[in-house]
Structure 1
Amino acid sequence: MKNCTTMPEVRAEIDRIDREIVPLLLERLEYIAQAGHIKADRNTVRDEDRVEDVVQKALTTAEKLNGNATYIEDVYRYLIEWSINYEFGVWDKVAEEK
């Protein structure tokens, strides 16, 4: 991590990180869409055990990096909830087409 001394440097580093994060988020979303095509039952879209598994894995990674666990948990819970809603939409569209 770079030690910035000016706001332009901070902003440049945030922009750099965002350029790395956005493609990964979009790739993740593609896998969420695939799940919406694969799952045979709409009731399986929301899987609370899987939600907790994903959150715990993210927290473990944050802890290994000495990161802010609250921040990571909040971000991941929002990301997962958004993803579940997106997957419901995909599932519903696939079901309509059948």
Structure 2
Amino acid sequence: MGECRSLAEVRDRIDRLDETIAGLLSQRSDLVRQAARFKDSEAAVVVPERIEAIIGKVRAVARQAGAEEDLLEAIYRSMINIFIEFEKTAWHRLKS
């Protein structure tokens, strides 16, 4: 990705990325909802080893891309926590 020549170009690129990100997050939320079907308990929603494996992969991708590892980790930890709550809600709906 080359350098932008104006703030308008920066914003346009961000807007296009946001569209892609929103679509991907929508797909991820559907998969998280589906995962709830396979859990035997609410406690099974949180798997610390899985979380740390995801974070490790994200940090590796960030490192390879020359991005800020700590920034991506913070974003992912926040996102994972939100998806955990989403999955717990989905689990309760399925089990009630």
TM category (shorter chain) comes to over 0.9
Tell me the alpha carbon deviations over residues 30-84 of structure 1, each in whole angstroms, 9 at most, x when there is no partner. 0100011111222110111111011111101101111100110000000100000
Partner of 1:10: 10
Alignment partner, residue 29 of structure 1: 29
Identify unmatched segments of 5+ residues in structure 1: none
* Aligned: 1:83 with 2:80: no
TM-score, L = length of structure 2: 0.96
Quote the RMSD (CA, aligned, Å): 0.8
CA-CA distance at 1:2 after TM superposition: 2.9
Structure 1 residue matching 2:86: 3-state secondary structure: helix
| Aligned length in residues | 96
Name the aligned partner's letter for residue 31 of structure 2.
Y
Instruction: Find the aligned partners of 2:41 and 2:88 in 1 and give their Cα distance.
Output: 11
TM-score by length of 1: 0.94
Structure 2 gaps, min length 5: none
Letter in 2 for 1:8: A
